[in-house]
Amino acid sequence: MFDRRKFIKSSAISASLLAIGKSSIANIIPAPLAAPAAKPLVISTWDFGIAANHAAWGVLSAGGRALDAVEKGVQVPESDVKNQSVGLGGLPDRDGIVTLDACIMDEEGNCGSVAGLEHIEHAISVARMVMEKTPHVMLVGDGALQFALENGFKKINLLTPESEKAWKEWLKTAKYAPVMNIENKLYDKASPTRLPGNQYNHDTIGMLALDAKGNLSGACTTSGMAYKLHGRVGDSPIIGAGLYIDNEIGGATSTGVGEEVIRNVGSFLVVELMRQGYPPEEACKEAVMRIIKKKPAKAKEIQVGFLALSKKGQYGAYAIQKGFSYAVCNEENQSLLIPGKSYY
Ligand code: SD4
């Protein structure tokens, strides 16, 4: 259980520290100093969230809708060929096929999702179209692709030469062994050298936004675990697992080993805990603890991180392993990068 008195005290300290100033470059601040910020506000997973937040901020700062902001925001990593875990250039499955998972949810509880989608750069926009143009929530595989093509999306090859090379390298051993805690090195500006592709098994962008009207929306998009079995679906397109929004309470999203998030209906759990009064970080921590408690022996080997945003604009995160970061963008600072707290 969280300590309410301690939380209120640390929030007060945070508010004064956040007034330190504006910056156009990423400022890394410790999580306890992250104060609740006024709306509008957008937060997203990992270091690459900074660039994605900037795109979302363009919508939010102009008074736009959170739903439009999160779609625009996550399109940035989807188009980034250097990002091997989301969209174009994502690492393929075991058979060398890039398959995308994505979902989106708005302030009215509407949601749309695609899983195992091939050949389309912006899976998130197909998910939004499923939400807005069909009576369904989720389309998968060939059906999702057919729907996208019928609705004007362009068919492209998502497998870049770099990702194909990494896959061929992986095929030499074909061992599925996720390596933890290295995700954000991919985006370490100081040392952009990559480790061999087979070590980059996951990184998903989950984004949550609160617009000027006080409405919440969220988006989550990924190429999923690298070298997964063809047909494997992770948590990212599953409403309640990879993403959940309740406009009365808040929103949550996840990254990491999707199977563990699905087993615990992670993002829904985080939002329900916030409904019970948990601040965002404490809600994320409790959701992480549920995973650890069920699998104490396995916990050391897996990474799961949750990120949450409350209706009031409070935010927080918690992960099993160190190395999980999240980006925050609001009026005061558009490029905050916050190291998420972790169990280990
Ligand atoms: C999945 N949760 O497919 C995704 C991968 C991920 O950080 O989030 N990586 O299981």
Q: How far is the CA of 8 from the centre of ligand 1 (A)?
A: 33
CA dihedral (73, 338, 223, 343) in degrees, to 10, reads -150
Comparing CA positions, the residue from 148, 94, 96, 93 lying closest to residue 119 is 148
Is 204 tagged catalytic? yes
The residue whose CB lies within 8 Å of the most ligand 1 atoms, and thus the one to mutate among 47, 180, 235, is 235
Q: Which atom of ligand 1 is nearest to the CA of 45?
A: 7
Model-level pTM? 0.87
Q: Could you list the pLDDT tens digit for every one of the 344 residues in the chain? A: 454 444 444 443 343 333 333 333 455 544 444 454 579 999 999 999 999 999 999 999 999 999 999 999 999 999 999 999 999 999 999 999 999 999 999 999 999 999 999 999 999 999 999 999 999 999 999 999 999 999 999 999 999 999 999 999 989 988 776 544 344 444 343 333 333 333 444 589 999 999 999 999 999 999 999 999 999 999 999 999 999 999 999 999 999 999 999 999 999 999 999 999 999 999 999 999 999 999 999 999 899 999 999 999 999 999 999 889 999 999 999 999 999 999 99
Q: Do 93 and 201 contact (CB within 8 A), yes or no?
A: no
Domains and CATH numbers, the chain: 41-342 (3.60.20.30)
Q: How far is the CA of 132 from the centre of ligand 1 (A)?
A: 25
235 carries a ligand binding annotation: yes
> How many CB atoms lie under 10 A from the CB of residue 6?
10
Q: Which atom of ligand 1 is nearest to the CA of 101?
A: 3
Measured between alpha carbons, how far is residue 236 from residues 91, 206, 302, 332 in Å? 16, 8, 16, 30
C-alpha–C-alpha distance, residues 262 and 241, integer Å: 5
The conformation of residue 202, written as its DSSP 8-state character, comes to -
Planar angle of CA 206, 210, 213, nearest 5 degrees: 155
